[in-house]
Amino acid sequence: SLASAPDTALVMLDIRPGLEAAAAAPAAIRREDYRAPDWLVPEVALSFELDPARTIVKARLSVTRNGEHDRPLRLDGEELELLGVRVDGAAVEPRFEDGRLVVDLAGPAAVVETEVAILPDKNSQLMGLYASGGILCTQCEAEGFRRITFFPDRPDVLSRYTVRLSADQHAFPILLANGNPVDSGIGPGGSHWALWEDPFPKPCYLFAIVAGDLACNQDSFRTASGRTVDLGIWVREADLPKTQLAMQALKDAFAWDERVYGREYDLDRFNIVAVSDFNFGAMENKGLNIFNTRYVLADPETATDADIDAVAAVVAHEYFHNWSGNRVTCRDWFQLSLKEGLTVFRDQGFSEDMGSEAVQRIDQVRTLRAAQFPEDAGPLAHPIRPDSYMEIANFYTATVYNKGAEVIRMMRTILGPERYRKGTDLYFERHDGQAVTCEDFVRAMEDASGVDLGQFRRWYSQAGTPKVHARLEQKDGKAALHLRQDVPPTPGQEAKKPMVIPLRVALIGADSGRELGPERTVLLTSAEQVEPFAEVGEPAFLSINRGFSAPVVIEAERRPGEIEALAASDPDSFARYEAGQELMARDLLAAIRGADLRTDAVVAAVGATLRSNQLDPAFKADAIALPAESQLIEKLNRADPGRVHDVREAMRRAIGQGLSDDLSRAHMAAGGADPASLSGEAKGQRRLRGATLALLGAGDPKVGEALASRQYAGARTMTERQSALMTLAMLGGDKAEEALGDFYARFEDDALVIDKWFAVQASVPGEATLEKVEALMRHPAFTMTNPNRLRALAGNFASTPSAFHRADGAGYDWLAETIVAADKLNPQTAARFVAPLGRWRRIEEGRAAKMRAALERILREPGLSKDVFELASKSLG
């Protein structure tokens, strides 16, 4: 029989009058409905007869009744062909209720055995057991284990696993699972088998197996307590040379977590496997991390410096989950930020320590503004600990991850580093081996520090980016900072209460340029608050939210010349960067709203940055980049994306023309970076080289084309090559075609580089890009089944505003069609493209109506997944 859970779980609801009411709304799952599991599963033995066409899975669950009740055991299962059920050795007739397998049990404990068949080759969702480039692998978070076997698929059921794998020896010479290998041997008919044991109880979402023809980069790490851990990075043989950077990052991460958080690794081996078809970045399965190839394989010739940094960050992130996520896990999926917010904060700390802290912080804030602020301001806004969901896969969001990390960072700012560390020590000690909640984390912080975080908890329950209005008042040698906070309404949360907002503040002498007194951290806790500053002898400028101490939008009343001065000389480099961005945004937004474009102040600031002897090149590259179009759109009421693009281009042209000498000089100097070096200095130089090239191209297309062609031809790193290619592609014409042709031919066999080839072309601004994207979709190298390839094309197109927001709405229609087509194969990945259509409230009425129409078109599609349905219906709301 074929047990398919979701269909029977559907509740028919007429959700929107006016829509052809075919859509059935899946029921929402609510945080407040949490109940402890009826049955626990302390032990699991699994046996896999692996075959891509049809795999047999036998499961033996030792179950125990949890508490006094007479409810049966209910097991989740999805797309499983059930072959048999036994209870304490005796066959029983299977019974299903609401898509679950129901097993009636009399005593306090039982052994329940099931046998199922699954079809890895047919698994295009990439959840459960699937095939990727000849490798069999699994993905279980959040609810994929139910696609492998019948099980209580929830994170608060922790089990000890024994796993037997058997497969054809020739096709699958390597057999991996969580934990330690304990036995292996040869089986019948050319098969072999391996037995693995994981001594640590874990939730089933951390289960993993891999089978394939894999080569290993082997190394080891000696832990602080003197144990030796075998490290393995498993890839296709040909990819072995590209695993060195990931291996170094892994060893750095092991050492960093010992030094900074006092966390040691707990098994004798740690394996990473790279697969090319993967819905997200990577997965922290206990002792057997599975990665998207894009976050493992890298060398300077085929990966940009940004790619290489991302590899290190993701390797560290997944490793850090071993404590923040695995040893201490989540009680339910509403607590996702418990592990993700904390682990992102930990990987950010790692990156800050490995590179330049200021530059890392700028990047983090850029990501937050590009991905999280729009989410928090739109129809999909949710607190970092959501209250309800239809499909949990939709809640792996920038809010849960990145805003979640900002919330942890604020706790550290409020407590100070020592008390924060006491808090994490207590958290890990108190909850080791448990499945817990965000509340448990905050309580550990309170108990270890003695600081009351009562009001601070609102960061977990209230959505929306707070706005802080700031005005510095100066009278009689004294200053007073007037603050006001305002948390905007979000879906389901009309009225908000004041948040606790830690603001690092310094006053800067308008004449001296020096900090007047020490920086202080102001805790804004009420709707309005006045902070006195004593004895300010000279006019002062306000440097506020330094280091981005709180994830808020600052609206400061500025004096004439204040932002310019801060952009030129704020001693805090993050604040200095911010002032530059504020200056650029001020003049761009004024022009978009209809004023004449004023370029003098921005040109002067960019010129000073380029000529500075003190600033490092990476900072310069960040500081000379204009705010993104998407960010400007967020600040406008009903924007015309075409106009936003034109005004921003005019500013880029003015910079390119006004500073052509400074830019050329910087571009040339930056070309001297050692291509073999991955030092912060060398990476910064290459970043500056790309940024200056782009501005030179904006100033004079002919000059830009010549320089870019030369940079492309002489490129020794992908960083240089890709930035040259992007500049050429933006300028268009023969040189662009020539370079794109060369790029394709040169890297035809390297899937990750061909993704870049698609991405570059889909990121070219302007209305003509859609035709290009449509043609690329018919290119032989395009496939919808590979998430990286689909993201390269659709993801980049949808995040290029002047291309996506074509006035005729054709960009929206294309995206809607693409979502509908992708949904049939892979709902999780398809759903990721819905959000851009949901930003219609920010866009002028003509286009907004077309965006809504595209969402309605999606919702009319019969058989839509829960994933896409949830996001598309909420986006219309």
**Under DSSP, is residue 661 helix (H, G, I), strand (E, B) or coil?**
helix
Question: Pairing relation of β-strands 39-49 and 2-4?
Answer: unpaired
Determine how many CB atoms are found less than 10 A away from the CB of residue 477: 10
Strands (E), 206-317: 209-212, 215-222, 228-235, 269-275, 282-283, 288-292
* Cβ-contact 858, 875 below 8 angstroms: no
- CA-closest candidate to residue 635, choices 567, 564, 587: 587
**Tokens representing 65?**
């009744």
Which range in 5-13, 20-28, 224-232, 314-322 contacts ligand PHE by CB under 6 A? 314-322
Tell me the three-class secondary structure of 184-216, residue by residue. EEECCCCEEEEEEEEEEEEEHHHCCEEEECCEE
Give the contact letters, 375-414, x = binds to ligand PHE (CB under 6 A), - = no. Answer: ---------------------x------------------
Which range in 236-244, 277-285, 298-306, 546-554 contacts ligand PHE by CB under 6 A? 277-285
Which range in 82-90, 276-284, 438-446, 584-592 contacts ligand PHE by CB under 6 A? 276-284
CB closer to Zn ion, 285 vs 343? 343
CB closer to Zn ion, 340 vs 446? 340
- The span from the CA of 636 to the CA of 630, in Å, is 10
CB-based contacts of 783, cutoff 8 Å, min separation 6: 789, 790
Determine how many CB atoms are found less than 10 A away from the CB of residue 876: 18
CB closer to Zn ion, 337 vs 343? 343
Handedness of CA 741, 747, 750, 754 (dihedral sign): negative
Give the contact letters, 83-122, x = binds to ligand PHE (CB under 6 A), - = no. Answer: ----------------------------------------
Ranges within 590-619 binding ligand PHE (CB under 6 A) = none
In DSSP terms, 164 is beta-bridged to 47, 195
Contact flag: residue 283 with ligand PHE (CB under 6 A): yes
- The span from the CA of 59 to the CA of 114, in Å, is 5
Q: Which does 280 bind (CB under 5 to 8 A by kind): Zn ion, ligand PHE, none?
A: ligand PHE
**Tokens representing 282?**
């990577």
Residue nearest to ligand PHE (CB): 280
Q: Could you say which DSSP state residue 242 is in?
A: G
318 labelled catalytic: yes
CB closer to ligand PHE, 316 vs 503? 316
CB closer to Zn ion, 340 vs 629? 340
Ranges within 140-159 binding ligand PHE (CB under 6 A) = 141
- The catalytic residue among 115, 143, 318, 861 is 318
- The span from the CA of 687 to the CA of 671, in Å, is 10
Q: Which does 139 bind (CB under 5 to 8 A by kind): ligand PHE, Zn ion, none?
A: ligand PHE
Q: Cβ of residue 178: shortest distance to Zn ion, in angstroms? A: 17
Which of 280, 295, 350, 814 forms a contact with ligand PHE (CB under 6 A)?
A: 280
- The span from the CA of 46 to the CA of 58, in Å, is 6
Instruction: Kindly write down the DSSP assignment for every residue of 836-853, as one continuous string.
Output: GGGGGGGB-HHHHHHHHH
Contact flag: residue 867 with ligand PHE (CB under 6 A): no
Ranges within 649-668 binding ligand PHE (CB under 6 A) = none
Output the CA–CA distances (angstroms, integers) from residue 586 to 316, 441, 619, in the order listed: 38, 40, 21
φ, ψ for residue 381 (rounded to 5)?
-60, 140
Q: Cβ of residue 389: shortest distance to Zn ion, in angstroms? A: 18
Q: Cβ of residue 290: shortest distance to ligand PHE, in angstroms? A: 8
Residues contacting ligand PHE: total by CB under 6 A: 12
Start-to-end CA distance of the chain, whole Å, equals 39
Q: Cβ of residue 317: shortest distance to ligand PHE, in angstroms? A: 6
φ, ψ for residue 87 (rounded to 5)?
-120, 125
Contact flag: residue 340 with ligand PHE (CB under 6 A): yes
Contact flag: residue 253 with ligand PHE (CB under 6 A): no
Q: Assign residue 863 a region: left if phi > 0, alpha if psi is -120 to 50, beta otherwise?
A: left
CB closer to ligand PHE, 280 vs 533? 280
Q: Which does 582 bind (CB under 5 to 8 A by kind): Zn ion, ligand PHE, none?
A: none
Which of 76, 115, 307, 318 forms a contact with ligand PHE (CB under 6 A)?
A: 318
Chain residues in the site for Zn ion (CB under 5 A): 340, 343
CB closer to Zn ion, 400 vs 790? 400
Residues noted as catalytic: 318
Give residues in contact with ligand PHE (CB under 6 A): 139, 141, 279-280, 282-284, 317-318, 321, 340, 396
